[in-house]
Structures are given as C-alpha cells and as structure tokens.
C-alpha cells in the first residue's frame, strides 16, 4: 500500500505559543497577590460606576469594554475571552490556555518538570495556577468546582457581567432590608 505523506510545518500546533508570551503570563502568576488586590479595587470601581453604565446602557458599553478587556488580558494572561473569567480562582493563570481547556485542575499528563504533555515547552497552566493561588488572599477558591464553560458567553466582557451581577445582588439585598 502506498504511504501518503502530508506536509506538516515544523514547530507548530493549533495552540502554539512563543516563549516570550509565556514569560508575561508567568510574570502575572508570580505577581498574583498584587494582581488580586488590583483586580478587587478595579472591580469595586466598576461597581461604583454601575449607575453610569446603566445610564449609558450595558449593551452600548459592551463593545468598548470588550475591546479594552481583550487587549489588556491578552497581554497579561494570554486570555481567550471565554467570558467567564476564573483568574481570581486560578492563581492568575488562565485555564483556557490548557490545551484540553480543563477548568478544574490538571490532567494526569503533567511532565516531571511541571510542563504540559501536549505542549512540552509550556509550563502546565494548573501547576502555575496552584503556585499563584498560594500567594493570594482568597487563593483557596482554587478548590471550588468551576462550572462548565458556557460557550454562548465567548467574546463577551467578564468585567461587565460580574459588575452587573454584583449590582443586581446589591439591589436585591437592599430590597430585603
Ligand atoms: S478565564 Fe476566560 S476571561 Fe479569564 S483570562 Fe482566561 S479566557 Fe480570559
């Protein structure tokens, strides 16, 4: 039987990342304590501005917010804009960078050097997540079970959705008083 050979570019895969990008991602994990504090301050500022977002309209603000969130988080975390950010519970290591998109811990294939079995050059995002979580104030939330990804939220702003959810919770709590 004739063996059919297909051209395969070297050093590539569907989720290939360059080392230079890992270095920023790894920096974010090393500074997870600071980034947790920064995000919490930022989130409470967004919540304080809820009346403004409501006035403009959450739908109208979504586009510009997505543009900003996407750019910042792409640089800092190699974010894929899943729309349900888990960084606060994963040591500032984005779980969507796992080639298997695992949201609740590593697979059984982590290499002895802590790298990924699919992308041998890439440190396992879950090994990184555990290390990052150990320096965070609420790092034990890494033990919480994450819901499956809702793909209908892909490409939307996590920042805005969390703000609107928290604002609704706050309004409901006030109504109960
Ligand atoms: S968990 Fe989702 S929103 Fe958060 S950095 Fe990763 S891909 Fe982006």
Comparing C-alpha atoms, which of 129, 126, 122, 103 is closest to residue 30?
129
- Going by CA atoms, what residue is nearest to atom 7 of ligand 1? 80
Partners of 115 in beta bridges: 123
Model pTM score: 0.86
User: To 10 degrees, the CA torsion angle through 161, 21, 100, 130?
Assistant: -80
Ligand 1 binding pocket (C-beta < 6 A) is 73, 77, 79-82, 85-87, 94-96, 158
- Rounded Cα gap, residues 44 and 53, in angstroms: 14
Is residue 85 a contact partner of residue 76, using CB atoms and an 8 Å limit?
A: no
- Going by CA atoms, what residue is nearest to atom 3 of ligand 1? 85
* Burial readout 112-129 (b: 16 or more C-beta within 10 A, e: otherwise): eeebbeebeebbbbbbbb
**Residue-level pLDDT at 10:** 60
**Residue-level pLDDT at 177:** 81
Is residue 28 a contact partner of residue 92, using CB atoms and an 8 Å limit?
A: yes
Mean pLDDT along residues 137-154: 96
| Cα 79 to ligand 1 centre (Å) | 5
- Rounded Cα gap, residues 44 and 105, in angstroms: 28
pLDDT beyond 80 at 1: no
Count of alpha carbons within 13 angstroms of residue 85, beta-carbon side: 25
pLDDT beyond 60 at 11: no
- Going by CA atoms, what residue is nearest to atom 4 of ligand 1? 85
Dump pLDDT digits (tens) for 77-132: 999 999 999 999 999 999 999 999 999 999 999 999 999 999 999 999 999 999 99
**Residue-level pLDDT at 20:** 61
């Amino acid at each position: 039987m004739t063996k059919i050979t297909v051209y395969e570019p070297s050093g590539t895969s569907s989720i290939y990342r360059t080392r230079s990008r890992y270095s920023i991602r790894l920096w974010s994990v090393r500074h997870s304590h600071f980034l947790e504090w920064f995000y919490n301050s930022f989130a409470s500022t967004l919540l304080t501005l809820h009346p403004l977002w409501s006035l403009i309209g959450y739908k109208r603000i979504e586009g510009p917010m997505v543009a900003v969130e996407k750019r910042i988080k792409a640089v800092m975390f190699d974010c894929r804009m899943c729309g349900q950010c888990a960084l606060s519970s994963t040591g500032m290591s984005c779980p969507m960078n796992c080639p298997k998109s695992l949201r609740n811990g590593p697979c059984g294939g982590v290499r002895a050097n802590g790298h990924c079995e699919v992308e041998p050059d890439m440190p396992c995002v879950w090994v990184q997540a555990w290390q990052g979580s150990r320096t965070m104030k609420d790092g034990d939330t890494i033990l919480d079970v994450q819901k499956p990804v809702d793909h209908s939220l892909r490409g939307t702003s996590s920042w805005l959705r969390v703000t609107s959810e928290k604002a609704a919770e706050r309004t409901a709590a006030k109504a109960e008083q």
